[in-house]
Amino acid sequence: MDTPLDDLEQIGRVDPRGMLDVITTLPESAEDAIDSADKVDLKLRRFKNLVVAGMGGSAVGGLLLRDWLQQTSSVPIIVSRDYSLPGFVSRDTLLFVVSYSGGTEETLSAFEEGKIKGAKIVAFTSGGELEKRAKAAHITIYKLPQGFQPRAAIAHQLLSLIVAAKKAGIAQDSWWEVREAIDVLKAMREEMRPETPQWSNPAKKLAVELHGYIPLVYGSRIHEAVAYRWNTQLNENGKSPAGSSFIPEAFHNAIVAGEADKELLASVCAVFLIDSAEGEHLASKTRRFMDILKARFGKVLEVQTCGEGRLARMLSALYVGDFVSAYLGVLYGRDPSIVESIDRLKQG
């Protein structure tokens, strides 16, 4: 055994709360989430915009929903990560309030503002104050299962949002993509799970490559939330600094980082999420972008998306990042589940 990532006992010692197990069973969590969400009786009225309010790991489901439905939704989907809601929120707004713990102050504040503005609110939570307040106000609750780290409940969060969005009439045409995405994740997971040795495990290999580097993650517009998810998972599970941006926006700013001092760039690693469904023009411009970074950055890595539908392509790239972030935590000897600084700041 020549790598710590093939030592399952060592993984168990660094990851005693089982972040890697939760990631490994993500496809089944997605199926469970669909079953539970289908049972929720959701009564809606006509709405002109959908706002998803949440913070951190509980905002990611909304960001993914936004990117997935970007080209098909008849209404704008806005994700609000703040104490207050956008000014346009009104009785014409469908407001999904998401807080895994139910205790996040920014999200509770957005919930209260949504009530005052008369928005149609739906809550997504595992309990806490949000559940209490939603019950008191007779607001529909999608109950998320307890016992997860908020970010690790992504399958439950995203799939509940998707089921609710379908009920709201904005995701029904893309529904076939959900089944495809889950099948793609099931197939990918066999390659990336802890039992699969590093020599044939792409996620372990990537984590080893990133060990000691600062990752900057880039993807095209459909992968904006996915690149951001990589960023935040590398922060929280991997205890690593990280950044992310999306293409083509990155052509107009992030590319200039390649002009920085070479010594500074030596420990920076760019990770490109490559989607073969992108058109030729964007693909070739992205190659030129990568070539510029290759000449200057410590490393440039590529991750290929899988599947046909937009959702499978997004979630396949996300799934690699989730595994990589937890393996990176193990390599740094840090429990992927523990986020001490977030907890300290929340406690005030």
Active site residues: 236, 252, 346
First to last CA, the chain: 44
Rounded to 10°, the helix 154-167/57-69 angle is 40
Asked whether the bond before 194 is cis by omega within 30 degrees of 0, the reply is no
Binding to ligand PA5, residues 36-55 (CB under 6 A): 55
Burial status of residue 116 (CB atoms within 10 A of its CB: 0-12, 13-18, 19 or more):
exposed
* Cα 154–chain centre separation: 7
Exactly one of 29, 149, 231, 337 binds ligand PA5 (CB under 6 A); which one?
A: 149
Residue 150 sits in the site that holds ligand PA5 (CB under 6 A) = yes
Q: Tell the smallest beta-carbon distance from residue 98 to ligand PA5 (Å).
A: 7
Q: Which two tokens stand for residue 38?
A: 């289908």
Per CB under 6 A, the list member of 66, 120, 151, 204 interacting with ligand PA5 is 151
* Smallest distance, ligand PA5 to C-beta of residue 232, A: 7
d(CA 25, CA 249): 34
Site residue total, ligand PA5 (CB under 6 A) = 15
- In whole angstroms, the minimum distance from the beta carbon of 140 to ligand PA5 comes to 18
Under 8 Å between Cβ of 230 and 217: yes
Nearest distance in Å: CB 179, ligand PA5: 27
61 lines the binding site for ligand PA5 (CB under 6 A): no
Considering only 100, 148, 272, 323, the residue that binds ligand PA5 (CB under 6 A) is 100
| From 80, 99, 198, 316, residue interacting with ligand PA5 (rule: CB under 6 A) | 99
Least distance in angstroms from the C-beta of 120 to ligand PA5: 21
Nearer to ligand PA5, 107 or 325 (CB): 107
For the window 219-248, what string marks contact with ligand PA5 as x by the rule CB under 6 A? -----------------x------------
Q: For the stretch 156-176, what's the b/e string if a residue is b when 16 or more beta carbons lie within 10 angstroms of its beta carbon?
A: bbbbbbbbbbbbbebbeebee
Burial 183-199 (b: 16+ CB within 10 A, else e): ebbeebbeebbbebebe
Task: Report the residue number, 107 or 231, with the smaller CB distance to ligand PA5.
Answer: 107
Determine how β-strand 140-143 pairs with β-strand 120-125: parallel
What is the rounded distance in angstroms from the CA atom of residue 1 to the CA atom of residue 6? Answer: 7
By CB under 6 A, tell whether 286 contacts ligand PA5.
Answer: no
Cβ distance to ligand PA5 smaller for residue 149 or 245:
149
Residues that bind ligand PA5 (CB under 6 A): 55-58, 99-101, 104, 107, 149-151, 236, 339, 342
